[in-house]
Amino acid sequence: MNADAFRHFYNYHFAENRKIWDTYIMPLSQEQFIQRVGYSVGSVRNQVVHLMSVDDTWFSGLRGVEIPPSLNPVHFHDRQIIRAYWDKVEQRMRDYLAALRDDMLAGKPFAEGEDKDLILWQVLLHVVNHGTDHRAQLLRLLNDLGVKTTSQDYIFYVYDNP
């Protein structure tokens, strides 16, 4: 893999996040959006907040800035607040990815702690994989709420974005 392949893969990540948000989450009632469920991290809102929090945590570490505290979903009751915050997280990720070079991919981005042996390409794959996992959980929750959803498979993104 090279830096351009990762940028492409992250474009998929961002596009699927946006598709699920715009197509399936925005039409939900507020009650559906915050409805408590005993699955994974909870409600649709909690899933979204968790996803953007984890993305921000990993990329803060990659950028060498202070790791933000995990976001508490109760502080994100309004979808406009979530979207604005998520857009900022995504933009910081895009800025990092825009500067990504092939020679960086084999480096170890963390000097200490449990992540010190991770290689950058592993971290980059993990973040998208984590996003795919939580989008799948969101699709299951949306299905439980009666929303008809479609696949988030990467190959369908490739078909539409050669």
- pLDDT tens per residue across span 41-64: 889 999 999 999 999 999 999 999
- ∠ CA 111-117-123, nearest 5°, is 95
pTM of the predicted protein model: 0.94
Half-sphere exposure of 84 (CA within 13 A, CB side): 6
Contact between residue 68 and residue 56 where contact means Cβ atoms under 8 Å apart: yes
Task: Write the pLDDT tens digit of every residue in 83-127.
Answer: 999 999 999 999 999 999 999 999 999 999 999 999 999 999 999
| CATH number of 80's domain | 1.20.120.450
The pLDDT tens digits of the residues spanning 9-29 come to 999 999 999 999 999 999 999
By CB atoms closer than 10 A (0-12, 13-18, 19+), residue 142 is: buried
Range of the domain at 49: 3-160
Residue type, 90: E
For 62, other C-beta atoms within 10 Å of its C-beta total: 20
Matching residue, tokens 């929750």: 141
Q: How many domains does the chain have?
A: 1
